[in-house]
Amino acid sequence: MTTHTFTWLRSRYSVVIAIAAGVALPLSLAPFDVPGLDLLSIALLFALLWANPARRALALGWWFGVGKYGLGASWIYVSIHDYGPAPAWLAGSLVVVFVTGLALFPALMAMAFAHGRRRFGGGMGVTRGAVAFAACWVLLEWVLTWVLTGFPWLYAGYAHMEDPLRHLAPVGGVLLVSFAAAVSAGAVAVALLERGRTRRISVMVAVIPWLLGAAFGLIDWVHAHATHRVALVQGDIPQDQKWLRENVTPTLNKYATLTAPHWGAGLVIWPEAAVPLFEHQAGSYLDAMAARARAHGSTLVVGMPAAEFHPHGEVDFLNTARALGDGSGRYVKRRLVPFGEYVPMEDLLRGAISFFDLPMSHAVSGAWEQPLLQAGELALALAICYEIVYPDLVRVGAADADVLVTLSNDAWFGRSIGPLQHLQMARMRALENGRWLLRSTNNGVTAIVDASGRVTAALPQFEAAVLTGEFQAMRGLTPFTRLGNLPVLVLLVLTVLVSCSPFSRSRVS
C-alpha cells in the first residue's frame, strides 16, 4: 500500500486503533450481532501490521487481543466472582491474567506475519499479503482449539450465520467461514487504500468468497428422514443453590413435575447435571423416571454427575448423560472445562479460592470413542456443555447420528453475554453437520435448531418451562462431517507458502 495512505495508522493512536479493532470482533457476534464489524476488525489489524514497522507488531497484536478478549470473554468474571465465590479484586485480577494471557496468541500471530511481510512486496504483493494474513488469522483460530486444552471462542466465522458465507460451513466448518471472511476483509482494506490495478484485483478477491458461498447454498448435502417430537425441560435452578443438600429433593420434584404433562413427546431431555446427586445415589429416582418414560413409549435423556471408586480409595468424578425408558446408553463428557472440571497447575491453585475446590473440578474425561445413545429408533450424538464448541469432536458423533443433543448448565455465566455466545456456536455445529440440534439447559438458552443452523423455537432465559416441538432425523453427510478440518488446514498452509514463494513476488514499490 502506498505510504501516504497509512500516516494515521502509524500515529500515536495506533494502540487505540488496535484495541478498538479487537473490541469490534465480539461486537459482531452474539448477543450484539452488528453486521460487518468482524470484517472491520480484521481489516484494521491487517492495515496496522502492514503500515507499522515489524518491531511494533507484537505490541499491536497484543493490544488487539486485549480488546477482543476483554469484551468477548468478560463473562468469566461472573463465574469466578458470583459462583467462585471470589472477592471482586481477586476475580478481576484473575480475569486480567486470563485476558492478557490469551492476548499473547494474536500477538505472536501478528509478529510472525509482520516479520514475513517483506516477502509479499508492494503493488499486487499487498493483495497477496492480505490473503496470507487471512490464512494466519485462521491458523490462529485452529491453534486455539487445542493448545492448553483449547479455548475455541470468538471465531470470526460465527458472525456469518445469516449471510451467504454460512453455506461454506458444511464444506469446511467454521474455519472455512472465518477464512472467507478474513480474505474478504483484507481485500476490502487493500481496495479502499490502493488505486489502479491493485484496487481492481482486490475488489475481485473480496467478492469471490461471497459468490462461492452463494453457489454452495444451492447444494443439499443432507435430507430429512422422519419427523419426531421432543420436550426440552428447563428447570431454572439457581447455581448457588443447586448443590445444597436441602434443595436436592425440591429440585428432583421440580423436574418430575415439569415433565409429567410431556411424556408423550417421545423424546424428553433434561439439562446437564439436572439430577444433583451422583448416579449411584439416585438409583431409585432414576428407576422411577425410567418406568414413567417406558410406560409412555418415551426416552428420557438426563444429565448427572457420577463417581467411580477404585480399590485403593481413589475416586473418579464424571460428567455423564444417560438414556432411560425406551432408550439406552451412557455418555461421559470428553472435553473438560479448565478450572471448572479440572484444575491446571493443581498443586498451586487448589485451595486458593473455593471455585477451585468444587467437587466436579476433580473430574476425569470419558473415552474419546463412545457409542451413541439410543432413543427408540433414533441415534443421538451427545455433547455436554463446553464440548459443543469443538467442531471436530461434534462431527465424529454426527456421522452416525440422526440428531445432535447438547446438555448444558450456563447458569455459571449469569446474565452475561456467555450463554448467547454459547448458543451461537452450537448453531454452527448443526449447520456444519446438517443435523438438527436439541439444546437443553438449566436456565437458558434452551432451543431447537434446524439442520441449517436456524433456531426454530426457544425458551426465555431464567424461566422454569418446557419447550416442545418437532425435529427431523437427517440422513447424508456434509463434506465437513466426512473430512473435518484437514482440507481447510491444507488450504491455509498452501496459501501461506504460495504467498511467500519467490515466484509469486512482485517488485517492492
Q: Which residues are catalytic?
A: 272, 333, 385
| End-to-end Cα distance, the chain | 9
In angstroms, the Cα distances linking 233 to 269, 467, 476 are: 6, 6, 29
User: Which residue type is seen at 289?
Assistant: M
> Under a CB-based contact definition with an 8 Å cutoff, are residues 187 and 42 in contact?
no
Q: Is the peptide bond before 445 cis (omega within 30 degrees of 0)?
A: yes
How big, in percent rounded to 5, are the helix, strand and coil portions of the chain? 55, 15, 30
> Under a CB-based contact definition with an 8 Å cutoff, are residues 364 and 317 in contact?
yes
DSSP per-residue string spanning 264-321: GGSEEE--TT-S-S-GGG-HHHHHHHHHHHHHTT-EEEEEEEEEEE-TTS-EEEEEEE
Q: Work out whether the CA dihedral 480, 32, 142, 202 comes out positive or negative.
A: positive
Q: Which residues of 211-244 are buried (b: 16+ CB within 10 A; e: fewer)?
A: ebbeebeeeebbeeeeebebbbbbbbbebeebbe
Residue 351, phi-psi category: left (phi > 0), alpha (psi -120 to 50), beta (remainder): left
Helix (H) / strand (E) containing 474? strand 465-475
- The neighbour count for residue 264, using CB atoms within 10 Å, is 12
Cell of 467: 419447550
Q: Name, in order, each residue with C-beta under 8 angstroms of 180's C-beta and a sequence gap of 6 or more.
A: 160, 165, 168, 209, 210, 212, 213
> Under a CB-based contact definition with an 8 Å cutoff, are residues 304 and 320 in contact?
yes
> Under a CB-based contact definition with an 8 Å cutoff, are residues 324 and 289 in contact?
yes
User: Which residue type is seen at 380?
Assistant: L
Q: Is the peptide bond before 31 cis (omega within 30 degrees of 0)?
A: yes
CA distance 172 to 481: 9
> Under a CB-based contact definition with an 8 Å cutoff, are residues 458 and 447 in contact?
yes
CA distance 319 to 341: 9
DSSP per-residue string spanning 388-446: GG-HHHHHHHHTT-SEEEEEE-GGGGTTSSHHHHHHHHHHHHHHHHT--EEEEESSS--
